[in-house]
Structure 1
Amino acid sequence: IELLFLPPYSPDLNPIERVWWLMRKQITHNRWLKTMEQRVEEFEKWGRKTQPEQITRICNLIENIY
């Protein structure tokens, strides 16, 4: 594991922020999930259907940009 120290207040440099953005975009865009159970279920479905390669590609975008 290689630790990378990021400047403060730089979510654009944090790979997990891009993953969260994609997840929220695909799950909650133009949808209202009324209960927490619905939200958890949808996020779990997203996690099961999303390929690890897609997550890796999103995380590697940071390296390609900087």
Structure 2
Amino acid sequence: MLHHVTMAYDIDADKMLEVLRIGKEKLSDKGTKSAKKRVDPLRRQTGLPREAVIGRMVDSFRAGTG
């Protein structure tokens, strides 16, 4: 199985909203009122340094391919 995803370790959500034009239709399709609320970077979720997050992902992918 192949899965493609973009994950942010950290992000300036206010800057994201400045540079992206997110239409109301796209938000309503997702059942969301705010694009900013949909952003949940890995740093906030885990509290781990970037290197630790990368290391755990690498370990997880390696363990899944065994």
TM-score by length of 1: 0.31
Higher relative contact order structure (alpha carbons within 8 Å, sequence separation ≥ 6): 1
**Rg comparison, structure with higher value:** 2
